[in-house]
Structure 1
């Protein structure tokens, strides 16, 4: 059997245990292709795996580590199956988790993004899709993948709720909507530009020109072009991302809790539910190192002056 044949068996077995492995499959198929260009279709060494992981010298070390991490369990599985493949030590290409400081959109930034869509995107359907997606992410904190997987039956118009099916966690959740957000979604669903694609009544909310769902990369590219045109990227910083709308949602809710006298602990618990986290500790990741929030929290903790 070739490594590609082995890979098919490996993926089938692991998916039978409940693993999705979408990124892992993408990386391992790349690895197999890389090996084939070097005349290896049925074996590889530790040096091969490390060389492939570092094949992009301009990439961050964390990316090298992630690529090797995809190969390591595959190699261990092959080794356990009596293939002449070595086990790859865990100490190779170690790196700590890196995180990118989120860009917290101001209200002016959000207004500009939403207002620019009709002029920036010449196709009315694309313009309406981007404007509605951006507004939905701002209002709900959904992941972009979750938003694109929403279907018409997921909208409860009467109760102003979205049913969001879990991806990173196996739990589905209900996300509350402001009535204005529900109205915007209904308006988009019934828009002539969307209906002209012949979408299924039970299919995706957000549709491409064939009435099917979008891939995440297409929406991310549209958004990046819009951000560049509006020149939202601060000097010396990376381009703001769609993911940063999720950080903005969480941060704005916590700032409101601190500045309006609400209970921050209760707000954090609610945010964990809305964001689809299994516990508040995961939500903290979205909130740390945000100056606006730290300032709001510090103001809440400042002692009151002496009474007169």
Structure 2
């Protein structure tokens, strides 16, 4: 059997266990094509995998490490299945994962973006769409992909909840909404500009000019255009992103927990569920890149005058 055939079997088996493997499939098919071009259609060595992972000399070490990481479980599966292919040791291409410091939006930033949408976007439907999406992401912490996949039936008007279909794992989740968020979604669904596209009654909530779903790249482009127009920028840093609204949602809730003196661990657990994370460690990733939150946590640890009196140095 060829590696391409084995890959199909591998993907089928792992997906039956709940893995999505979208990026892994893309990379592994590239790897198998690369091997086939070198007349290696049924086997490969550790050296082959490393050579493919480092195929672009100018690429960052993280890029190469991520490519090799995609091959490692496939190689282990082939080793267990046939014994002809060696397992790839961990750490062959070590690289520290870099994280970009998120832009934590203030309420003024959000108000400014929402106010600017009608002036910046000449198309009423686009203006309505962008304002509603920005408000929804800020209020719920959804990923943009999750928001764009929402369908009309996913909104429960009476219960004020959204059914959010997972993108990174197989579990859907229910996200509660503030009544004002529900009202904003209803206003968007019934807006003349949206209805003019003749969207399907059971179709997506957010629609393009054809009444069908947006692709995220279009919304990202609109967002960059909006933030540039209003001058929303980190000094000397990359521009704000839509995904930073998710960081802001998590960070603001944790800051509120520290300032209110409530149990941060309980808030963190609730956030992990709300954000659709399979483990708290994924929520930590969102929080550890936010200096403002670290400052709030440090202040929580500062001794009070009473404790200083009880524990003189």
TM-score, normalized by length of structure 2? 0.84
From the superposition, tell whether residues 14 and 172 of structure 1 become closer, same or farther in structure 2 (CA, over 3 Å): closer
1:20 is aligned to 2:20: yes
1:237 is aligned to 2:237: yes
Q: Distance in 1 between matches of 2:79 and 2:167?
A: 31
From the superposition, tell whether residues 54 and 303 of structure 1 become closer, same or farther in structure 2 (CA, over 3 Å): same
1:120 is aligned to 2:127: no
Q: Distance in 1 between matches of 2:187 and 2:224?
A: 25
Question: 1:86-125 to 2 correspondence within 5 Å?
Answer: 86-125=86-125
1:54 is aligned to 2:54: yes
From the superposition, tell whether residues 85 and 284 of structure 1 become closer, same or farther in structure 2 (CA, over 3 Å): closer
Q: Distance in 2 between matches of 1:280 and 1:17?
A: 21
Name the counterpart of 2:272. 272
Name the counterpart of 1:208. 208
Deviations 1:55-85 (A, max 9, x none): 2334332221111111222234344554865
Name the counterpart of 1:69. 69
Question: 1:284-303 to 2 correspondence within 5 Å?
Answer: 284-303=284-303
From the superposition, tell whether residues 93 and 150 of structure 1 become closer, same or farther in structure 2 (CA, over 3 Å): same
Question: 1:152-163 to 2 correspondence within 5 Å?
Answer: 152-163=152-163
From the superposition, tell whether residues 217 and 43 of structure 1 become closer, same or farther in structure 2 (CA, over 3 Å): farther
SS in 2 for 1:218: helix
Name the counterpart of 1:246. 246
Retained in 1: the 8 A contact 2:19–2:170? Answer: no
Retained in 1: the 8 A contact 2:160–2:176? Answer: yes
Name the counterpart of 1:186. 186
Higher mean Cα deviation, 268-277 or 278-287? 278-287
Name the counterpart of 2:4. 4
Higher mean Cα deviation, 74-83 or 288-297? 74-83
Higher mean Cα deviation, 140-149 or 276-285? 276-285
Name the counterpart of 1:226. 226
SS in 1 for 2:162: strand
What is the Cα-based RMSD across aligned positions, in Å? 2.8
From the superposition, tell whether residues 5 and 59 of structure 1 become closer, same or farther in structure 2 (CA, over 3 Å): same
Name the counterpart of 1:176. 176
Name the counterpart of 2:311. none
SS in 2 for 1:163: strand
Structure 1: give runs of 5+ residues left out of the alignment: none
Q: Distance in 1 between matches of 2:118 and 2:48?
A: 50
Higher mean Cα deviation, 255-264 or 195-204? 255-264
Higher mean Cα deviation, 68-77 or 129-138? 68-77
Higher mean Cα deviation, 120-129 or 148-157? 120-129
Q: How far off is 1:216 after superposition? A: 2.9
Q: How far off is 1:130 after superposition? A: 1.9
Q: How far off is 1:243 after superposition? A: 1.8
Q: Distance in 2 between matches of 1:34 and 1:234?
A: 40
Q: Distance in 2 between matches of 1:26 and 1:149?
A: 21
Q: Distance in 1 between matches of 2:169 and 2:61?
A: 27
Structure 2: give runs of 5+ residues left out of the alignment: 307-313
Name the counterpart of 2:148. 148
Q: How far off is 1:163 after superposition? A: 1.9
TM-score, normalized by length of structure 1? 0.85
